[in-house]
Structure 1
Amino acid sequence: MAYERGDYPPNRCSQPFGNCIAGNSDVEPLFAMHNMLLAHGKAAKLYHEKFQLTQGGFIGLVAHCFMYEPLTDSYLDQKAAERAMLFNIGWSFDPPIFGDYPQVMREYHGNDIPTFSADEKEFMKNSIDFIGINHYSAIYTKDCINSSCTETANRAIKGFVEITGERNDVPIGDPTSMPRFFVVPRGMEEIVNYVKTRYNKTPMFITENGYSSSHVQDVKVEEILNDFKRIEFHQTYLASLAEAIRNGADVRGYFIWSLMDNYEWAQGYNNRFGLHYVDRETFDRVPKLSGRWYQEFLKDNGHVDLSAIRAPKSAHKQADFYDV
């Protein structure tokens, strides 16, 4: 967003990714990521050597992780999906676990991708105690090496992969108010299994998973409070996660995004992820139906009678409902 598209400060980019005063979208993201990973590696080394024994804490990294699926059953699209996983998830987690970037990234980026010194490889390797996964959706991938693609997709920084949420005009799952965030529950099990296999059962946390609905200006408050689609989202995604755990994934925790409607990056207040509704004028925080459902889900081991749970008819008629 900052060094490829130039949307965020320091607003550096180049054509065709964006129109910035300065920057190189094909190269600068590689160095930005390299510096972040080195910063992590040094902090982790310091923590492991000086503090972990007495504090008993642990340190890791979190990455946003789509589950990339091939657009078609062709060999080329299957390889594109594999490449997309490595150019995104592998870019984040290979260095702090294996000590270097995925080999395929070095093959495609050549001398543009930075190198780790022998000393850096040493302190980078096994520098995380857990992997954090922010997962919302699966998405299709199309090969751009042997097929025509958009100009921005047909670049090494993208792994020569184009992503799309539709196949033959059919979405991969129900859309949400966030572009590319479709409801695809199977993606949770698939991404967790991928991380489990590639990273030798390193402990995992699902650090973000959630459903975004429209802004209150576009939808009645009562509809926002009775958020059945959010409940269905978490029910199906948690079921998918449970299947991955049954199959041996070491998942230590699951965090819903988010506790309450929040300020969502460049979208501001236009998307609502929360289990609690926030009135932007009064700052009242009211549990949505999903908030009550999740409370009961945690208490009753997942067995919840939705007919016994109702959200309030108005954000201003809270009574004794606000007890989550």
Structure 2
Amino acid sequence: MAKKEKILKENEQVESNHREVSQSDFPPSFVFGVATSAYQIEGACKEGGRGASIWDAFSHTEGKILDGSNGDIAVDHYHRYKEDIELIAKLGFTAYRFSISWSRIFPDGLGTKVNEEGITFYNNIIDALLEKGIQPYVTLYHWDLPLHLHESMGGWVNKEIVKYFGIYADTCFASFGDRVKKWITINEPMQTAVNGYDIGIFAPGRCQQSSTEPYLAAHHQILAHATAFSIYRSKYKDKQGGQVGLSVDCEWAEANSDRIEDKSAAARRVDFQLGWYLHPIYYGDYPEVMRKKLGDQLPEFTQEDKDLLRNTLDFIGLNHYTSRFIAHEVNSLVEGNYYQAQEMERIVEFEDGEIIGEKAASEWLYVVPWGIRKALNYIAQTYNNPIIYVTENGMDDEEDDTSPLHEMLDDKMRVKYYKRYLAAVSQAIKDGADVRGYFAWSLLDNFEWAQGYTKRFGLIYVDYKNGLTRHPKSSAYWFLRFLKGSEGKKGKEE
């Protein structure tokens, strides 16, 4: 059977369901939320006792950010959090995933002196959420490492950082854990390792030692996660009753053909994404194929490390946006040691030349709803059916300051994206995956890392030229109807 025909047949059910997808397609206790991260939205970079992060330094380095911008002000969530939480409540979401800025808690990252103004800021956010009946899902690390830790000891490539992350996590559990019941230790450790220490397109912008540094950065993030989990389990779990997870990202890899080489390449691609972080926790070591391809570039886990890592996940967070066809390719010309080691080609077309899915604004993002179902089912089957939350899912539009506001707000493609991806998530649950919640990325248009303000992922449009005013897009109103229970009827009209 041709690849295209096979994919279409497999996903017939999802595609027929997406027009009518409604909250009733999900379990009664299923959580719907929105997500953000500190550096992308907070701003107030020198207020409230905050120390500098690696993203402050990186974004102020000429040529690193596409539009020359930075997160100094971002969308000013620091001063407007009440307004933003009000928007979350009005749209009907019952959960909000946000990250804490490490350098707001410990300005130098070392854990010697707590910044009480930072504690107060996050206490205010948590209390404002709970007042509105919104559950906080808190990420401890979303890429904004305190700059001092990078400059003084090399950041994630130094094993000492595991200790400092533990102190930071402990402080957050002690300060906020009476109200926060869902913790995510680290967001997308793969992006930190690869884009931060291999290709160098993200902070701290390292690419000089790409055969070793990305793997050290990954290794220490895994140990930092396990250390934080262990602290929570031993000191806080009995009293606070919360759960601790890790958010990993995966671009689903579908074999480009039935050839054994392509199937192996696709499996290898998934192991290099999910397996890199989940295999050590579930199976005590990196995937066999990574050991084979990378050899002594991969650090070893000591027996003590393996004991620490065992069973250190209450849930897995999956960040998923898009998918690719994967073919075996030995002499790949891709940039970076990590990608070259995978010996694969990422393909965006069916055999007849038709594109895998409609393209969003980012060059890497194609709309491929069936990929999220496959990724969720893969996690369920490979890691003993763990509890999963989709901790990010969404798509972006190009910034366009020439179009009238009403056109920018009418984001039909994003509405369609969410309908189709949610239908695929509901199908994965029917398949048997234990998915407990879904977080749309993102609540607000924001600072999109190396792309600056050129891409817009938000449900809420932020007017960068007119006082950062917030305007809900059509996708926000679609979620409002979906969450208030009328979307089943509305969906058929669109």
User: Is TM-score (shorter-chain normalized) higher than 0.5?
Assistant: yes
Contact 1:138 1:184 in 2 (8 A): yes
| Counterpart pick for 1:104 among 271, 289, 292 | 289
| Counterpart pick for 1:245 among 425, 429, 449 | 429
Residues 1:203 and 2:393 aligned together: no
| Counterpart pick for 1:227 among 405, 408, 411 | 411
Q: Which residue of 1 aligns with 2:225?
A: 40
| Counterpart pick for 2:327 among 142, 150, 153 | 142
Distance 1:117 1:288, change over 3 A: same
Alignment size in residue pairs: 298
Q: CA deviation at 1:295?
A: 0.7
Structure that is richer in helix per residue:
2
Paired amino acid for 1:213: D
Distance 1:121 1:170, change over 3 A: same
Corresponding residue SS for 1:51:
helix
Corresponding residue SS for 1:61:
strand
Structure scoring higher RCO (CA < 8 A, sep ≥ 6) equals: 2
Instruction: Output one character per residue of 1:149-204: Cα deviation in whole Å (capped at 9) or x when no partner.
Output: 32547877642222232345432110000112100010111000001111111100
Q: CA deviation at 1:119?
A: 1.2
Corresponding residue SS for 1:171:
coil
Distance 1:149 1:283, change over 3 A: same
Distance 1:187 1:119, change over 3 A: same
Deviates more, 1:157-166 or 1:136-145: 157-166
State how far apart, in whole Å, the 2-side matches of 1:265 and 1:11 are. 12
Contact 2:253 2:324 in 1 (8 A): yes
State how far apart, in whole Å, the 2-side matches of 1:35 and 1:80 are. 27
Corresponding residue SS for 1:107:
helix
Sequence identity percentage: 37
Q: Which residue of 1 aligns with 2:479?
A: 294
Contact 1:293 1:304 in 2 (8 A): no
Structure 2 regions of 5+ residues with no counterpart? 1-194
Contact 1:153 1:161 in 2 (8 A): no
Q: Which residue of 2 aligns with 1:160?
A: 343
Paired amino acid for 2:252: M
Corresponding residue SS for 1:255:
strand
Contact 1:203 1:251 in 2 (8 A): yes
Contact 1:154 1:160 in 2 (8 A): no
State how far apart, in whole Å, the 2-side matches of 1:9 and 1:137 are. 23
| RMSD (Å) for aligned C-alpha atoms | 2.0
Paired amino acid for 1:126: N
| Counterpart pick for 1:177 among 356, 361, 385 | 361
Residues 1:127 and 2:312 aligned together: yes
Q: CA deviation at 1:306?
A: 6.0
State how far apart, in whole Å, the 2-side matches of 1:290 and 1:151 are. 35
Instruction: Output one character per residue of 1:106-136: Cα deviation in whole Å (capped at 9) or x when no partner.
Output: 1111122111111110110111111011101
Paired amino acid for 2:361: S
Q: Which residue of 2 aligns with 1:4?
A: 198
Deviates more, 1:281-290 or 1:83-92: 281-290
Contact 1:154 1:161 in 2 (8 A): no
State how far apart, in whole Å, the 1-side matches of 2:338 and 2:493 are. 53
Paired amino acid for 2:415: I
Q: Which residue of 1 aligns with 2:265?
A: 80
Q: Which residue of 2 aligns with 1:269?
A: 453
